[in-house]
Amino acid sequence: MGSHYDPVSMFPLHREREQPIFSARAHVFQIDPATKRNWIPASKHAVTVSFFYDANRNVYRIISVGGTKAIINSTISPNMSFTKTSQKFGQWADSRANTVYGLGFATEQQLHQFSERFNEVKDGARLAREKSQEKMEMNNPGLSIAAPQFSQDLCDELQSPPVMCANGPEDKLFRSQSADITLNSEKERIKKMLSEGSICEMNLETELFTLQDSNAKLVAALHEANANVEQWKKQLVAYQDETERLRDQVADLEAHGGHGPSDMLKDELTQSLEELEALLKAKDEEICILQAKKSDFHEMEQEREEAIHRIQELEMRNVELERRVQGAEQSLANSLEERDRIESEVHRVVEILDVKIFDLNDLRQSLVKLIDK
């Protein structure tokens, strides 16, 4: 349908004057020139949108009139494309008008018909341009000789990656491929930093939980040891008092001689005294052991303070890593914004080139007409 489309054979009456080819009713919108994102309604109600063929200039147009003014006056070029953005809405960009037109149809079938006719007309414009170029080459051999070199230079220019100058010829913006590589490397670096920060944070939490558990155990052991020491001190005082009392009784018995208890009672008291002395010695040893444990506890308390200090340092390092990650994310966002800006500039350059090419073609046709006259 596209490659076999011949505007001259299909529409013979178009040779004489501009005639409508196809018409449809749709709501017309134009892109907001300030934001380039929002749509602005160009008509309050659905209007007639028609394809026209200008036989004098051999061009195709899309024209829509609302009231006394033209809502759409777009000349179709082979580089244009009609895009369906939803089931009932489509759009195309017109670089000469420096805008984007949008059409909202009542049914999906109407949108499909309009899209097919747009592609047919675009192919017709391409064939018309090729025929006009062939005619110019046949009428002017000098232009036909120079045209291939011009077309080759233009093709080379279009095939080369589009760049724009920021402050001069030397300040070229990055190409899309290098921007993609930079963004990918930036993403990998951020992922690596995030994984390192997560691992460091997990290690910090594990070490903190371990230290808290050890601290709780040490505090419980210290309280238990202090309670045991106090209890043993009380028992020791009681044993000392009992020993002194027994010694006083033994001394009294020895002083009174026959008036005291029998030798059997004396031996029993002596044995009880020895047992008390042994018990007292054992308690002294336990007190020494508890004091040694207390000194060990002080050393463990010092180690705990050192560990807490290390945790604080690690937390500061984690905060620094988070700050670096936030900076990297901001840098990535700036890179994405810069990339979007570059892409928009590239699209604008492409549209400008389309306009320049179309103007050159019109100029060429005008020159041919002047030569023919």
Q: What is the per-residue pLDDT across 159-203, written as a single tens digit (0 to 9) for each? A: 333 333 333 333 333 334 454 565 666 666 666 665 555 555 555
pLDDT value at residue 155: 34
pLDDT value at residue 158: 34
Q: Is a pLDDT exceeding 50 seen at residue 8?
A: no
Is residue 339 within 8 Å of 186, Cβ to Cβ? no
pLDDT band at 16 (very low <50, low <70, confident <90, very high): very low
Four-CA torsion 212, 214, 217, 220, nearest 10 degrees:
-60
Q: Is a pLDDT exceeding 90 seen at residue 301?
A: no
Is residue 343 within 8 Å of 85, Cβ to Cβ? no
The dihedral through the CA atoms of 12, 13, 18, 19 has a sign that is negative
C-alpha span between 187 and 59 (Å, rounded):
49
Can you tell me whether residue 58 is helix, strand or coil?
coil
C-alpha span between 242 and 266 (Å, rounded):
16
Q: Is a pLDDT exceeding 80 seen at residue 236?
A: yes
CATH 2.30.29.30 fits 20-137, yes or no: yes
Structure tokens at 36: 């380039």
Q: Is a pLDDT exceeding 90 seen at residue 207?
A: no
Q: Is a pLDDT exceeding 80 seen at residue 362?
A: yes
Structure tokens at 56: 């004098």
pLDDT value at residue 106: 93
The amino acid at residue 185 is S
Mean pLDDT score, 205-209: 61
Rounded to a whole number of angstroms, the distance between the first and last alpha carbons of the chain is 36
C-alpha span between 133 and 139 (Å, rounded):
10
Cβ burial of 213 (10 Å; 0-12, 13-18, 19+) is: exposed
Four-CA torsion 55, 57, 61, 64, nearest 10 degrees:
-80
Domain boundaries, the chain: 20-137
Q: At what angle do helices 176-256 and 263-372 cross, to 10 degrees?
A: 170
Q: Is a pLDDT exceeding 70 seen at residue 152?
A: no
Query: Which is nearest to 365 in space by CA: 97, 43, 59?
Result: 59
Q: 165 has which bridge partners? A: 172
Q: For residue 142, give Cα distances in angstroms to 148, 149, 362, 363, 364.
A: 11, 12, 18, 16, 13
Structure tokens at 262: 């029998």
Q: Is a pLDDT exceeding 60 seen at residue 154?
A: no
Q: At what angle do helices 141-159 and 263-372 cross, to 10 degrees?
A: 170
C-alpha span between 100 and 91 (Å, rounded):
7
The residues, ordered by sequence, that sit 6+ positions from 279 with a Cβ below 8 Å of its Cβ are 239
* Residue in the structure block whose two tokens are 């992922």: 191
The 10 Å CB-count burial string (b at 16+, else e) for 223-259 is: eebeeebeebeeebeebeeebeeeeebbeebeeeeee
pLDDT value at residue 10: 38
